[in-house]
Each structure stands twice: as C-alpha cells, then as structure tokens.
Amino acid sequence: MDLHFEELMNKVTDFIKSETKTETIVGEPFDLGEFKCVPVIKVGMGFGSGGGEGIEGKNRKGEGAGAGAGVGIEPIGFLVTKGEEISFLEAGKTHGLAAAFEKVPDLIEKLVKERNRHEEAVA
C-alpha cells in the first residue's frame, strides 16, 4: 500500500478552503414581510490523520493509515434590517412570555417541594 500523506493533506486543505468562506458563515439573505434577514452560522471543523509502517522478523512488513474529519454547523442568530434599523437576534434565546413559560416546570417543582416541606413540619 502506498501512503500518500502529502496528497491527502492537500485534499483536506482544499476542502477547508472551500468550506470556510463568508457565504458559509453568513447565509443567503431572505425577506420576511417588511424585514430583511441574514442568517449567521457558526461552523467548526476538525480533522486528523496518521499512518505508519513496521518490519517484524524477516518477511513481515506492515503498513497502515487512517484519517477522520468532522464538521459542526450551528445557527447563532440573524441580522435583521427594517429600513435604516439593524439588529441581531440570537437563535435559541427566548424572551418575554416564551421565557416565562419555559420556567413554569421549575416553578411548579419548587412549589411542590415547599408544600411537602411545610406539611412535614406541621405533622
């Protein structure tokens, strides 16, 4: 088996160059009513490779190689414009009434614990 690490690394480098462009991080703009929106995305990449060869005894020779890569893409928010106004809306963050509803289960759990504690103290 021929090990071509230089060729492998050139292909990986070309891939990273092609994927880490502004268009990858800042998505295509779109209209939503009177608003213009541009998605902003976080991209992470990682890769590794290795190989080796060895000789054992008189007639035994071994070679091996491996490579792996991973890509993670996460939306982090939107640039939003309306007329001259520009703002950034974070993805995954809830505000207002939606944030209050997310806290209801924790509030109920605290109330139940407090009630049980009060009943144990009275008994």
Which tens digit of pLDDT belongs to each residue from 79-118?
A: 888 888 888 888 876 655 556 656 667 767 777 888 888 8
Span 59-64, average pLDDT: 82
For 105, the domain range is 94-123
Residue 62 has pLDDT above 80, yes or no: yes
pLDDT value at residue 25: 64
3-state SS record for the chain: CCCCHHHHHHHHHHHHHHHCCHHHHECCCEEECCEEEEEEEEEEEEEEEEEEEEEECCCEEEEEEEEEEEEEEEEEEEEEEECCEEEEEECCCCCHHHHHHHHHHHHHHHHHHHHHHHHHHHC
One domain for residues 21 and 53:
yes
One domain for residues 31 and 42:
yes
One domain for residues 99 and 113:
yes
Number of domains in the chain: 2
Query: Does pTM top 0.85 for this prediction?
Result: no
One domain for residues 13 and 70:
yes
One domain for residues 9 and 22:
yes
One domain for residues 46 and 102:
no
